[in-house]
């Protein structure tokens, strides 16, 4: 299990609600900037998260990545809840997918 800081990494994490995969989107991502013009300074609203999630490719298992999905144990599938995480931290216990390297957006698919 690894703990990452979204703030220090300049990423926004989205987890697969079915398995342990986490997709990260850079706050400097061109599609993200086109959607919002700039990164929200006071955190994202639920409608902003929903707008991003609706444009992300689904995970290879078919599930949609969610900002509020809890990471899962890669062995038994149980949700991992940690009260020790800071507000900008996220946990990766399995696959981490770099959204820039992997082309995370639906409308950019070739």
pLDDT averaged per 10 residues in sequence order, the chain, 110 residues: 74 89 91 83 85 96 91 77 68 86 78
Cα(92)–Cα(64) distance, integer angstroms: 17
pLDDT of residue 110: 46
The pTM score is 0.84
Cα(40)–Cα(71) distance, integer angstroms: 25
Domain ranges of the chain: 2-108
Cα(31)–Cα(93) distance, integer angstroms: 27
pLDDT of residue 31: 92
- DSSP letter for each residue of 25-88: EETT-HHHHHHHSS--TT---HHHHHHHHHHBPPPTTSPPPBTTPPPB-TTT-PBP--TT--TT
């Amino acid at each position: 299990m690894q703990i990452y800081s979204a703030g220090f990494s300049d990423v926004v994490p989205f987890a697969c609600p079915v398995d342990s995969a986490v997709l990260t989107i850079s706050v400097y991502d061109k599609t993200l900037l086109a959607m919002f013009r700039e990164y929200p300074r006071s955190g994202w609203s639920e409608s902003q998260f929903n707008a991003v999630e609706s444009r992300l490719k689904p995970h290879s298992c078919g599930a949609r990545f969610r900002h509020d999905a809890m990471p899962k144990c890669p062995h038994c599938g149980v949700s991992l809840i940690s009260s020790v995480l800071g507000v900008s931290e996220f946990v990766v216990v399995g696959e981490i997918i770099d959204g820039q390297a992997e082309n995370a957006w639906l409308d950019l698919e070739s």
